[in-house]
Amino acid sequence: MSAAIAIRRFQEPDAAAVRDLFVTVNRQLAPPGGRDVFEAYIERSLAEEMGRIAAYYREHDGGFSVAIRDGSLVGMFGLERSAPDAMELRRMYVDPAARRGGIARAMLVHAEEECRGFGARRLELSTSELQQAALEMYRRSGYRLVREEVAEAASNKTIGGGIRRYYFEKEM
């Protein structure tokens, strides 16, 4: 049986581990021929968001949390305001070595609780075609597919490069 997961608010000493997890997961997601696109996305996201987590999420009326098991950071997610009555789930990643242990599901439940705590009635999220396990978990957790699109332009929220994104929401 695996050790208990503690989910808590991000603290500055978490920054290096959060950054490392973000970079590791995104490099693993890069499809053949997509490494350059992913490296540009990683660099932009680190500059605009992941290198300044506390400030970024404060500016976006949200918060960032981490999952800890046996003293190590094994997961993370952010919430930012997307509308007066909605929050957006961002950056939900689990350490590849810790997957299939219920961490993502525990973080999703925690995110939903936090969403309600922010006074939001709806939680929105998106993920890419490269993350099939995430797509399945969101569907099983009651999220409704709102739209899908092929992202051409890059930002700190999308890689671009022609990768299909799926947008979901759930009423709280």
Q: Each residue of 117-136: pLDDT tens digit?
A: 999 999 999 998 888 899 99
Chain centroid to CA 163: how far? 17
78 within a domain of the structure (yes/no): yes
Give the whole-angstrom CA distance, residue 71 versus residue 60: 29
Comparing 19-33, 109-123, 150-164, which segment has the lowest mean pLDDT? 150-164
157 within a domain of the structure (yes/no): no
148 within a domain of the structure (yes/no): no
Give the whole-angstrom CA distance, residue 64 versus residue 146: 24
- Note the pLDDT tens digit of each residue in 133-142: 999 999 999 9
Calculate mean pLDDT across residues 151-158: 56
Q: pLDDT band at 153, cuts 50/70/90? A: low
Q: Write the CATH number for 42.
A: 3.40.630.30
110 within a domain of the structure (yes/no): yes
153 within a domain of the structure (yes/no): no
152 within a domain of the structure (yes/no): no
42 within a domain of the structure (yes/no): yes
Q: Look up the domain containing 96 and give its range.
A: 6-125
Number of domains within the chain = 1
Q: pLDDT band at 156, cuts 50/70/90? A: very low
